[in-house]
Amino acid sequence: MEQKKWIDINTESFQYSLDHFVIPDHYEDALESVLIPHGVIMDRVEKLAKLIVQEATGPLVVCCVLKGGHQFFADLVNYIKKNVTRGGKTVPLSLEFIKVKSYSGETSGEVKLSLTEEECQEFQGKNILIVEDIIDTGKTMVQLLQKLKQYSPESVKVASLLIKKTPLSNGYIPEYVGFAIPNAFVVGYALDYNEYFRDLDHICVINDHGKMKYAIKN
Ligand code: HPA
Ligand code: MG
């Protein structure tokens, strides 16, 4: 059987009970189950860091997509640094942070970056690694890649911790993927629901009560 390049998680077959992990009291009633425990996330991020270093051909501009990507970005960069201090292959890193706004209302699906034109010019000739929390439909990432390529980088690769198995996917698959997850709304490890749950270490499935409790109130 062909080995997939990511860990395929199938909710139907297994989810961890909340009772078996430490969950902040303030989120206990809003969650269905633990999908990926924090320790497993960390082990997987360490492996992705190792692969990225092995395959790097020069200095990397590691580009964090805020806000959801921040925890994955922080842990990934830490593991890359650890590899260096352990006497492994050395890859110089510079760090960049971007916010991507997508205008879902518009048919073009165009995205707007938080970087100035001048800051984007800095990408010219560089090896960029975009770090994202989740690829869902893939629309935002495809648009972001198109936009970045206008600034003539040497290469652009993408690391996404999660990829969602959804019928709405446009088929886009990043170079580095941590886990493929079922078509459910997940939170934790910086992934949010209306800005809540970023302060949760495990990646969990939100329940209906949670969706109501943390819905946007007008
Ligand atoms: N959780 C959090 N943010 C997201 C998700 C999700 O499941 N899908 C797209 N953005
Ligand atoms: Mg995101």
- DSSP for 80-131, please give it: HHHHHHTT-----EEEEEEEEEE-TTSTT--EEESS-HHHHHTTTT-EEEEE
Please check the confidence at residue 26 and state whether its pLDDT lies above 90: yes
pLDDT digits (tens, 9 = 90+) for 177-209: 999 999 999 999 999 999 999 999 999 999 999
Please check the confidence at residue 152 and state whether its pLDDT lies above 90: yes
pLDDT digits (tens, 9 = 90+) for 103-130: 655 556 678 888 888 888 999 999 999 9
Parallel, antiparallel, or unpaired: how do β-strands 186-187 and 203-206 relate? antiparallel
At 4 the pLDDT is 82
The tokens 């580009």 sit on which residue? 63
At 172 the pLDDT is 96
At 12 the pLDDT is 66
| Test site for ligand 1: of 183, 191, 193, 207, most ligand atoms within 8 A of the Cβ | 191
At 71 the pLDDT is 98
Q: What is the pTM of this model?
A: 0.93
92 C-alpha vs ligand 1 centroid, how far in Å? 31
- Nearest Cα neighbor of 142 from 121, 126, 158 is 158
| Test site for ligand 1: of 65, 183, 185, 202, most ligand atoms within 8 A of the Cβ | 185
At 13 the pLDDT is 66
Residues in contact with ligand 1 (CB, 6 Å cut-off): 134, 136, 164, 185-187, 191
Please check the confidence at residue 93 and state whether its pLDDT lies above 60: yes
At 2 the pLDDT is 64
Q: Is 198 helix (H, G, I), strand (E, B) or coil?
A: coil
Beta bridge partners of 159: 131, 176
Sign of the C-alpha dihedral, residues 129, 130, 131, 137? negative
Tell me the domain boundaries of the chain.
Answer: 7-214
Rounded to two decimals, the ipTM of the complex is 0.95
Q: Whose CA is nearest to atom 9 of ligand 1?
A: 136
Residue 207 C-beta-side C-alpha neighbours within 13 Å: 10
Residue 15 banded pLDDT, cuts 50, 70, 90:
confident
Q: Burial-class residue 49 by CB neighbours within 10 Å (0-12, 13-18, 19+).
A: buried
- Structure tokens that stand for 52 in this block: 């990225």
Active site amino acids? 136
* Correct CATH for 7-214 of 3.40.50.2020, 1.10.10.10, 1.20.1050.10, 3.40.50.300: 3.40.50.2020
- Nearest Cα neighbor of 65 from 131, 155, 164, 13 is 131
At 88 the pLDDT is 75
**Sheet containing 203-206: which strands, arranged edge to edge?**
31-36, 203-206, 186-187
% of the chain exceeding 70 in pLDDT? 94
Q: How does the average pLDDT of the chain come out, rounded? A: 92
> Please, which residues have CB within 8 angstroms of residue 190's CB and are 6 or more apart in sequence?
67, 68, 69, 70, 71, 72, 133, 198
